[in-house]
Amino acid sequence: MVSSEPKTWTIEAVLRWSTDDFRARGIETPRLDAELLLGHALGCTRIKLFMELKRELGSTELASFKELVRRRRAREPVAYILGVREFYGRPFRVDPRVLVPRPDSETLVEVALERTRHVSMSMFALDLCTGSGCVGTTLARERPTARLLGTDVNDAALVVAQDNALRLGAYNIAFARSDLFDAVSEDSAFDLVTANPPYVSTAEVGDLASEIRLHEPHLALDGGPDGLSMIRRIVADAPRHLRPGGVLALEVGAGQALAVSGFFAAEHFQEIRSTRDLGGIERVVSGVLSPPPL
């Protein structure tokens, strides 16, 4: 049952009311969502909310907050409502043109950085399916002497990615529209190729949480009948764009690592590894391209 509205709209009462409301509607993190949205509506930090619990909201503040509550009730992701999501310690702007960056994808960044330490000063890297640019831009900021290219088939996503890169000071990454490698020069020889491609099976897209299914771009989610269509293409084409000894690192879905490792082996990658995310899921498959036979 949704709680009734309080008689006096203090910060404390508003937080209690909205938390109860979200919980009754099955929202997973009701208190956190309430605090983030109220802080956004008031233009203050969560810490300041707790310092002013007894302060009564003005009519404009209350109206602003109730509009945010309405959007969250419709299962719009909090990141879209706030317009920002932190990734690898940096604030990335996000909206319905791109997927919301997930902490799981930070594992992809960690693997990419670790496996390319030997070329850290001169790395030339390609980030496919770049979306918001969170992976490519993070790599660019972590490796300021590297050169990076981020590609996506979605022009709207590229606008978001470019904005994030410029705002976060990643001046060593460029972006281009491309269906995977299609627009990438055959003469390119990358030290690293990363991708967080669509990997949800078509049948499972309809079973995703409402926040994802109703609001995030399906183009960035649907990986075909078995969820592996895009991954197969990437692994098959990557050897033509990697230098010998170059690294391919892909984010994959739960239960896909074994099959994807097989794709890597079939394309003569070596040192194939599966890396678990913080939740214990094998989230990233990576490998090193073997030199051509003599």
pLDDT in tens, 154-182: 999 999 999 999 999 999 999 999 999 99
pLDDT score at 188: 82
Token couple for 152:
């996506």
Q: Where are the beta strands (DSSP E) in 76-207?
A: 84-87, 90-93, 124-128, 147-152, 173-177, 190-195
For range 220-230, the mean pLDDT = 95
Burial environment of residue 47 by CB neighbours within 10 A (0 to 12, 13 to 18, 19 or more): exposed
Among 1-15, 117-131, 250-264, name the one with the lowest average pLDDT. 1-15
pLDDT score at 187: 79
Contacts for 155 with CB less than 8 Å, ≥ 6 apart: 177
Q: Between β-strands 269-276 and 282-289, what pairing exists: parallel, antiparallel or unpaired?
A: antiparallel
pLDDT score at 293: 60
For range 128-134, the mean pLDDT = 98
pTM: 0.92
DSSP string, 50-105: HHTTTPBPPHHHHHHHHHHHHHHHTT--HHHHHTEEEETTEEEE--TTSPPP-GGG
pLDDT score at 186: 81
Is the predicted pLDDT of residue 5 greater than 80, yes or no? no
Q: For the chain, which domains are there?
A: 11-74 (1.10.8.10), 97-289 (3.40.50.150)
In this structure, are residues 223 and 244 in contact, taking their beta carbons and an 8 Å threshold?
no
pLDDT above 90 as % of the chain: 94
**Taking CA 268 as the corner, what is the angle to CA 196 and CA 241, rounded to the nearest 5 degrees?**
55
Distance of alpha carbon 233 from alpha carbon 86, whole angstroms: 30
Distance of alpha carbon 25 from alpha carbon 70, whole angstroms: 12
